[in-house]
């Protein structure tokens, strides 16, 4: 099937995991308007389906993604604005809805996992910064090429990258326009895990299966608590822990799990 007829995004559900796959290998998985529309639909389906516990984002081909499809204007439309206020409004309301989708991914109280098997560039890296977990194959690499054109990655690329890895490393990727490989990305805190290329897809899926076995209430509460704790002074962040745990510890699931755990300990101690 040619690129013109194949869907730009594939989806399947497996063991509580929504697997989404960028499917434009001939175009380096550039984020077309079709791909973005299908991706937004998948994100909302994940949000609204209780049986889905984890969303995995991966791709086919040598590139994870080359970023926004420049043949379509990079998501900016056919007639880019000519004033500063117009450009700012364009970034806020891109036709491909990148900013809104990335924000929704951060807000949804379920884990998003992205698996990079090759270069992750521009808009696809901005998308990845909105995910909860970033996994890399040894062949993965990362870059913000926007500096070549004299501009910044503007769908929260600067803000999210700096928040995640700090200004020290953000300068390397954005100001110096220097790509980094998977090992460098792990050192700077951009990715969580690196796996061999040969087993990468299986390893990424196994990671997602592990996440899917965790408490959904814990996942949602932890996602909020971690974000709040990052922004608050230490003594206020400690109060977030206490408030969050008070809710979790009153849940029937927690109490049932603790009863079973205590009972199993008692059985092990019997002679």
Residues 59 and 95 both lie in one domain: yes
Residues 192 and 230 both lie in one domain: no
Put the strands of the sheet holding 133-137 in their side by side order.
Answer: 9-14, 17-22, 54-59, 112-116, 133-137, 193-195
SS3 112: strand
Q: Do the domain assignments include residue 149?
A: yes
- What CATH number is attached to the domain comprising 175? 3.90.226.10
Domain encompassing residue 263: 216-269
Tell me the per-residue pLDDT of 144-167, one tens digit each, with 9 for 90 and over. Answer: 999 888 999 988 899 999 999 999
pLDDT-based confidence at residue 127 (cuts at 50, 70, 90): very high
Name the β-bridge partners of 58.
21
* In contact, 50 and 17? CB cutoff 8 Å: no
Residues 166 and 45 both lie in one domain: yes
The mean of the pLDDT values for the chain is 92
For residue 151, report the phi and psi dihedrals to the nearest 5 degrees.
-135, 175
Distance CA 63, CA 247 (A): 43
Predicted local distance difference test score (pLDDT) of residue 73:
67
Name the β-bridge partners of 181.
141
Residues 132 and 250 both lie in one domain: no
Distance CA 36, CA 4 (A): 16
Per-position DSSP letters for 55-94, written without gaps between them: EEEEESSS-SB--B-GGGGGGT-SS--SSHHHHHHHHHT-
* In contact, 68 and 22? CB cutoff 8 Å: no
Residues 185 and 74 both lie in one domain: yes
Give the residue-averaged pLDDT of 17-26.
Answer: 98
Residues 52 and 118 both lie in one domain: yes
- Domain-ending residue, one of 192, 212, 232: 212
* In contact, 159 and 174? CB cutoff 8 Å: no
Select from 80, 91, 71, 1 the least CA-distant residue to 30.
71
Predicted local distance difference test score (pLDDT) of residue 5:
74
Rg of the Cα trace of the chain? 20
Distance CA 116, CA 127 (A): 12
Give the residue-averaged pLDDT of 40-46.
Answer: 98
SS3 133: strand
Residue in the block written with tokens 């814990």: 218
Residues 142 and 195 both lie in one domain: yes
Residues 118 and 74 both lie in one domain: yes
Strands 180-181 and 141-143: antiparallel
Please tell me the total count of domains within the chain: 2
String of b and e for 227-247 (b: at least 16 CB within 10 Å)?
A: ebbeeeeeeeeeebeeebeee
Give the residue-averaged pLDDT of 222-227.
Answer: 95
Residues 258 and 125 both lie in one domain: no
Predicted local distance difference test score (pLDDT) of residue 271:
58
Distance CA 101, CA 9 (A): 15
Strands 119-121 and 133-137: unpaired
Select from 33, 70, 182 the least CA-distant residue to 117.
182
Residues 202 and 231 both lie in one domain: no
Question: Which range among 16-25, 54-63, 222-231, 262-271 shows the weakest confidence by mean pLDDT?
Answer: 262-271
- Domain-ending residue, one of 212, 239, 256: 212
Tell me the per-residue pLDDT of 77-102, one tens digit each, with 9 for 90 and over. Answer: 567 788 988 888 877 777 678 999 99
Predicted local distance difference test score (pLDDT) of residue 1:
47
Q: Do the domain assignments include residue 89?
A: yes
pTM metric for this prediction: 0.90
Predicted local distance difference test score (pLDDT) of residue 91:
76
- If you count them, how many residues does the chain have? 271
Q: Is the pLDDT of residue 66 over 50?
A: yes
- Domain-ending residue, one of 212, 235, 254: 212
Residue in the block written with tokens 């929504």: 18
């Amino acid at each position: 099937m040619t690129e013109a007829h194949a869907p730009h995004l594939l989806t399947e559900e497996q063991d509580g995991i929504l697997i989404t796959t960028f499917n434009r290998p001939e175009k380096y998985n550039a984020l077309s308007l079709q791909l973005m529309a299908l991706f937004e639909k998948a994100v909302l389906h994940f949000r609204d389906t209780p049986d889905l516990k984890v969303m995995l984002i991966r791709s086919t081909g040598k590139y994870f993604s080359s970023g926004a499809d420049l043949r379509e204007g990079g998501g900016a439309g056919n007639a880019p604005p000519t004033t500063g206020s117009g450009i700012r409004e364009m970034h806020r309301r891109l036709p491909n809805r990148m900013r809104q989708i990335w924000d929704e991914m951060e807000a949804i109280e379920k884990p998003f996992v992205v698996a990079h098997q090759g270069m992750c560039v521009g808009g696809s890296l901005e998308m990845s910064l909105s995910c909860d977990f970033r996994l890399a194959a040894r062949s993965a690499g990362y870059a913000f090429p926007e500096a070549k054109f004299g501009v910044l990655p503007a769908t929260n690329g600067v803000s999210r990258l700096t928040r995640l890895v700090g200004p020290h490393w953000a300068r390397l990727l954005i100001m110096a326009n220097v790509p980094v490989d998977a090992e460098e990305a792990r050192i700077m805190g951009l990715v969580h895990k690196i796996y061999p290329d040969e087993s990468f897809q299986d390893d990424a899926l196994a990671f997602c299966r592990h996440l899917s076995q965790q408490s959904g209430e814990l996942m949602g509460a932890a996602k909020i608590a971690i974000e709040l704790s990052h922004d608050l002074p230490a003594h206020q962040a400690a109060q977030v822990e206490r408030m969050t745990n008070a809710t979790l510890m009153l849940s029937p699931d927690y109490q049932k799990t603790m009863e079973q755990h205590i009972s199993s300990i008692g059985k092990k101690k019997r002679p």
